[in-house]
Amino acid sequence: MFKNMAATMPGPEVLDCAGMTRADAFAVRQGVASLTLMERAGAGVAHAIMARWAPRPAAILCGPGNNGGDGYVIARLLRDAGWPVTVFSLGDVAALKGDAAHMAGLWTGAVKSLDSFKTERFALVVDALFGAGLSRLLDGMALKASRSLAERDCAVVAVDVPSGVNGDESGSEGACVKADLTVTFHRLKPAHLFHPARAACGEIIVVDIGIPDGWRQGAGALPEIVQLPGITLPDTGHDRAVHKHGKGRLCVLAGPPGATGAARLSAMAGLKAGAGLVTLLCPPASLMEAASASLAVMTKSIREDDFADTLSLHRPGALVIGPGAGLNETLKARVLAALSTGVQAVLDADALSVFADDPKALFAALHDRAVLTPHTGEFERLFPGLLDASASPLEAARAGSQQSGANVLLKGPATVIAHPDGRVAVNIHASGRLATAGSGDVLAGIIGALMAQGIAPFQAARSAAFLHGEAGYHLPPGGTAEDLLAVIPAALESLGREQERLLTLNRLGR
């Protein structure tokens, strides 16, 4: 669950540790004292705590750096608000330097050694041991404290990230603190987005610490969180002059008999997402099976060869190829033939895995009008070792997109969308109820529908991921991919209303 403490949304960018350091340094150059930034950070954590819990015995675990300095601010503000507070220090307080030393000096209470910390004596513990820049495993007293927290039932609040988690990475090789609430500053970090690090954070809020405008200068293309104002929805109005062919033509390749269900889900999702005409291109043996499944989706028989000619005949604005298509040389040839025509294409499932033995052949044919939609297993087959070599899926997807020359949508609890030019977005607007068979096929159809309606592939993938995630929130418990199809119109309606409300507020200057 992500929340924001600021009166105005700080912004959608994701910052790695180096980027956050640059933003802090920019603020100082603009005249914001670093002590002021630390005071605001600590105040943000303290206010978040007091908004959630009544006063109770609290332990503040302070580390040897600026994260520990934040801890001393938190301790002071909680004590001033009437909380019983005990501070524990990892290391000698006299060894602190700079802002952390100054904030420790403002704390007038006792400071005990972390070695004397006993979890059972406290109802709330603030983890201010290490921040996002930690690049080593927890050890010594910090490791002991982390283990004791895991064994007791008390509320745990992490400052920036749980100790033991590197802010740039999606995982941790060693032990880390498991928090109920994590309060970070200015922008989310990669570790806040991706599992398993995400699972250690609990609820996450972002505090605006007042870094002035202009901090983005020279930062390059920063990853962005997909948000409603930045997505493009299909036109769902009542213009009587619109013809079905004017709302986009989408084609979906069907699989062999007994395996057409995935393609049918994609095709119906395309219709639900606004495409005016959707055609299932069926091998002759699959035609009757596919035709009997839907009254609204058109079905056409295709020959085993000349797939490029088939596409020329149907003139699709976009093609979805791969769901349930079968892992064989015929599919490989059809994918390459489709790409050779330059048609906008969504390559999903089998259309990706069929090239596991020769990904370079696929990469040579790809272009930036194509969207690849792998889950992590399919991504690993196309880009062996890339996920393991990358700190987070953000880096992996960006590298995969640049390597292949196509847009890459890497599916997961947080879905990453990357463009070959280096742009990256991540969608966190999604329900866990989407974890059901066929959900990915529905997403492929939505992407194809948006592309067929004239939305550029990268923007279509971003927008489709958000719409797909919204549809997940409309699913009932136990909802299936077929139920997901049924709620796409309601998701479109609710997003359209909210987008219009935000635009109206923006026009009014509110």
**Sequence letter at residue 81:** A
Contacts of 280 (CB under 8 A, 6+ apart): 251, 252, 253, 254, 260, 263, 264, 267, 290, 297, 298, 299, 300
Q: Is 305 flagged in the annotation as binding?
A: no
Q: Where are the beta strands (DSSP E) in 303-344?
A: 318-321
Q: What is the DSSP string of 10-32?
A: --SBB--HHHHHHHHHHHHHTT-
55 known member of a binding site: no
Residue 247 in marked binding region: no
The closest alpha carbon to 56, from 79, 30, 28, belongs to 79
Residue 160 annotated as part of some ligand binding site:
yes
Neighbours of 23 (CB within 10 A): 22
Under 8 Å between Cβ of 347 and 370 = yes
Residue 413 marked as a ligand binder: yes
For residue 460, which of 358, 327, 278, 317 has the smallest C-alpha distance? 317
Confirm whether residue 245 is marked as ligand binding: no
Contact status, residue 40 vs residue 209, Cβ threshold 8 Å: yes
| Residue 69 assigned as binding residue | yes
DSSP annotation of 228 reads: G
Q: Is 25 annotated as a binding residue?
A: no
237 among annotated binding-site residues? no
Residue 52 and residue 87 in contact, taking contact as beta carbons nearer than 8 Å: no
3-state secondary structure of 5: coil
Tell me whether residue 80 is annotated as binding: no
Q: Is position 259 annotated in a ligand binding site?
A: no
68 appears as a binding residue in the annotation: yes
Q: Characterize 36-68 residue by residue with b for buried, 16 or more Cβ atoms within 10 angstroms of its Cβ, and e for exposed.
A: ebbbbbbbbbbbbbeeebeeeebbbbbbbbbbb
DSSP state of 234: P
Are 369 and 342 contacting, i.e. CB atoms less than 8 angstroms apart? yes
Residue 44 counted as an annotated binding residue: no
3-state SS string for 279-306: EEEECHHHHHHHHCCCCCCEEEECCCCC
Q: Annotation-wise, does 136 bind a ligand?
A: yes
What is the three-state SS of 173-211? CCCCCCCCEEEEECCECHHHCCCCHHHHHCEEEEECCCC
Residue 375 is assigned to a ligand binding site: yes
353 is in an annotated binding site: no
Name the DSSP letter for residue 456.
-
252-282 per-residue burial string, b: 16 or more CB within 10 A, e: under 16: bbbbbeebbbbbbbbbbbbbbbbbbbbbbbb
Flag whether 70 is marked binding: yes
Q: Is 440 annotated as a binding residue?
A: yes
Residue 347 annotated as part of some ligand binding site: no
- Listing DSSP states for 98-113 in one string gives HHHHHHHHH--S-EEE
Is 411 annotated as a binding-site member? yes
| CB 369 within 8 Å of CB 344 | yes
Q: Report DSSP state, residue 482.
A: H
Could you give the count of Cα atoms lying within 13 Å of 198 in the half-sphere of its Cβ?
Answer: 15
Q: Is 4 labelled as part of a ligand binding site?
A: no
Q: Note whether 287 and 299 are within 8 A (CB).
A: yes
Does 134 count as an annotated binding residue? yes
324 is in an annotated binding site: yes
Annotated binding residues for AMP: 411-415, 440
Annotated binding residues for K(+): 67, 127, 163
Annotated binding residues: 66-70, 127, 131-137, 160, 163, 262, 324, 375, 411-415, 440-441
Annotated binding residues for (6S)-NADPHX: 66-70, 131-137, 160, 262, 324, 375, 441
